[in-house]
Amino acid sequence: MAHNLSTSADAEFNFMVSQLRDGSFDQPIASGDALIPGCFFQVDPAGQQEMHLTSGAGEGLKIRTRVQHPGDWMALHLRLEGLDLSDKQVLGFLCKSQSPQAMTYRACLRSGTETGFHDCFFTKTLVAYDQPSSHLDVLDLSTRPDVPLPATWREFIFFFKPSSFDLELQDLRFFIV
């Protein structure tokens, strides 16, 4: 997809994910390096690990990490910019993933305000194993006071355990109602 002509609230995020899916790369990556604009890994600088990301056109994002010394966190960030949720009721995502070894990871919506940032974790833990599996989770914004509705910036984040793993994110969709 070369152009983003959609104007829905989730359009920017889903366009970024389509760029990841339609791109082609095979590269080691360091903490803070952008895969594409708005998409980057961050890891605890106290840890020591190697990360390698691979994607072929139309394939998912393959993440390979080898941890020599674990830090406290490892995360994939996808920017949502200043998405205003004031008139929205539900924010959710669908993720399809696979891993040769069973693993779990968490999803979070981070919102930046004048006083710092606020993390709101989705309630379900994602599980990947040796067969493709789909995960759906939503935030009912009326019941989550930890989500500031207007925000200066937002990120959708996958938090991984700081350990060695192989994971393929085969599909990721974001929706806002």
The DSSP call for residue 125 is P
pLDDT at 9: 61
> For every one of its 177 residues, what pLDDT tens digit does the chain have, with 9 covering 90 and above?
454 444 566 777 777 777 777 778 888 999 999 888 888 999 999 999 999 998 877 778 899 999 999 999 999 999 987 688 999 999 999 999 999 999 999 999 999 989 999 999 999 999 999 999 999 999 999 999 999 999 999 999 999 999 999 999 999 998 989
5 inside domain: no
**Per-residue pLDDT tens for 83-106?**
889 999 999 999 999 999 999 999
pLDDT at 13: 72
CA distance 169 to 156: 14
The domain tally of the chain equals: 1
pLDDT at 1: 41
Determine the residue type at 136.
Answer: L
- For residue 165, the cross-strand partners are 65
6 inside domain: no
pLDDT at 21: 73
4 inside domain: no
Quick one: 175 exposed, middle or buried, by C-beta within 10 A (0-12, 13-18, 19+)?
A: middle
pLDDT at 6: 47
Q: Quote the distance between the C-alpha of residue 163 and its chain's center.
A: 17
Pull the structure tokens for residue 168. Answer: 């393929």
CA distance 80 to 114: 17
- Closest by alpha carbon to 108, among 125, 85, 84? 125
Query: Residue 69 belongs to a domain with what CATH number?
Result: 2.60.120.260
141 inside domain: yes
Pull the structure tokens for residue 46. Answer: 């106290």
In which domain, by residue range, is 125 found? 11-176
CA distance 160 to 43: 10
